[in-house]
Amino acid sequence: MKSLSLIMMVGIVGLGLPAAAAERAEVIHWWTSGSESAAVRVLADAFNNAGGDWIDNAVAGGGGANARSLGINRIVGGNPPTVMQFNYGRQLDEIIEHGYVRDISDLAAQGNWNELVPDALMDSITVDGKVYGIPVNMHGQTWSWWSLPALEKAGVEVPASWDAFFPTLDKLKAAGIIPVAVSRDAWTIDSIWRFIVISKGGTDLFRKIYVDHDVSSVNSPEFRELVETLIRLRDYSDPGASARNWNDSTALIINDTAGVQFMGDWAKGEFLNAGEVPMQDFACTPVIGGNQGYVYGGDMFVVTASEDPEQLSAQNLFVETLMSKQVQIDFNRVKGSIPVRSDVDTAQLDACAQIAIDLVKNPDNQVGDQPFYNSSDTIGAIRDLLGALWSDPNPSVDTFTQNFAQIIAAE
């Protein structure tokens, strides 16, 4: 080995090339589906082309719980990756508190992020006036994705109201189509649930529950109706759900075996990756009967605290690359999300992205997703509750409601 590296060094010196070491960055993330991997490639290629050396550490598990716990354990154990993915919100409160995350306020100021990035996202990556996250995208967390050929086969259209919703699912069922593509993980049941909350309950009720933690809203007849809707929806799934990841469910919409999936717009990445065209092969609606509600969320990377000049330099390159205008547009086009920079040309993005872009212009239409206002423990407890309700043959709305109220009251 020694003689080989000596030969290489002699070779480099002999050619008169600079022997600059690439800026090496180990990146922990949870993007492993087809479109997610393609989106990571966009980031990695851009970083490597800028002189970096992207060491990919993809941790399977949609929603990222596995990646986050592995990354946090490494950080706390003294073996941090160079950078690591989180969702916007409170997931990294504790590691910031303990000094494990690098303050990148200087880079944010140089990049003029305050002017370019939406306030809600800047707030989320800023703690005590210091910036700790690189905002890469804005995802819509609670969309519905409909197979247009499946609807056509059943002789129906995307339901224009909640009155038309279950009759549409009945028609899909009668046509031999799985009405709702459901996946196995509790976070995906939570996606269905929050779709119902924003779509049927509205933005205000969503805010009262998740932002204000208002127990009386949970004890209201409106909340009860949301729970009943979720329970009723179970009858439109199929036994295969227990073996499915979120992207396997998206595949059922892509191949027109199922009618609808309720999922964030990372699902759109899968449709686009399969060559499908919005409003031609599939339809996207953020709520049933219009476009009035939008739960936003998405992804940031954090750079870990380090004293090592090489790591710091690789981190600087990482920040600069991910926030460049070109990467913002190239990455988000593949990922299914929308860019965070207001100075990129979004006209070239697809029809569903245009709905999202319009919606986020109006603060009344939008609300941040759970992690903005709730600890990971609270979200975990709600997911356990939803998972238990979903698998209970005789679920009790009262028990669910009482437990839900207790969880948010404790937040």
Site residues (vs ligand BGC, CB under 6 A): 30, 36, 62-64, 87, 139, 266, 298-299
Q: Which is nearer to ligand BGC, 187 or 206 (CB)?
A: 187
Q: How far is the CB of 250 from ligand BGC (least distance, A)?
A: 10
Tokens 């996250």: give the residue. 133
Helix axes 266-273, 246-254, angle to 10 degrees: 50
Q: Which is nearer to ligand BGC, 113 or 301 (CB)?
A: 301
- Cβ atoms of 390 and 228 within 8 Å: the answer is no
Identify residue 148 by its one-letter amino acid code.
Answer: L
Minimal CA–CA distance to 371: which of 297, 282, 264?
297
Q: Which is nearer to ligand BGC, 132 or 187 (CB)?
A: 187
Q: How far is the CB of 12 from ligand BGC (least distance, A)?
A: 39
Could you tell me the end-to-end alpha-carbon distance of the chain, in angstroms, rounded to an integer? 57
Q: Which is nearer to ligand BGC, 89 or 201 (CB)?
A: 89
Q: Which is nearer to ligand BGC, 168 or 337 (CB)?
A: 337
Rounded to 5°, the CA angle 267-62-196 comes to 60
Residue 264 Cα to chain centre, angstroms: 6
Minimal CA–CA distance to 129: which of 151, 114, 112, 139?
114
Q: How far is the CB of 128 from ligand BGC (least distance, A)?
A: 25
Q: How far is the CB of 315 from ligand BGC (least distance, A)?
A: 21
* Closest residue to ligand BGC, based on beta-carbon distance: 266
Rounded to 5°, the CA angle 62-296-286 comes to 90
Q: How far is the CB of 133 from ligand BGC (least distance, A)?
A: 13
* CA-CA-CA-CA torsion sign (29, 141, 180, 349): negative
Residue 236 Cα to chain centre, angstroms: 25
Q: Which is nearer to ligand BGC, 66 or 406 (CB)?
A: 66
Q: Which is nearer to ligand BGC, 165 or 262 (CB)?
A: 262
Identify residue 106 by its one-letter amino acid code.
Answer: D
* CA–CA gap between residue 7 and residue 29 (Å, rounded): 36
Q: Which is nearer to ligand BGC, 26 or 299 (CB)?
A: 299
- Cβ atoms of 181 and 250 within 8 Å: the answer is yes
Identify residue 144 by its one-letter amino acid code.
Answer: S
CA distances from 333 to 49, 276, 285, 330 (A): 19, 14, 18, 5
Tokens 């569903």: give the residue. 352
Q: How far is the CB of 267 from ligand BGC (least distance, A)?
A: 9
Q: How far is the CB of 269 from ligand BGC (least distance, A)?
A: 7
Q: How far is the CB of 248 from ligand BGC (least distance, A)?
A: 12
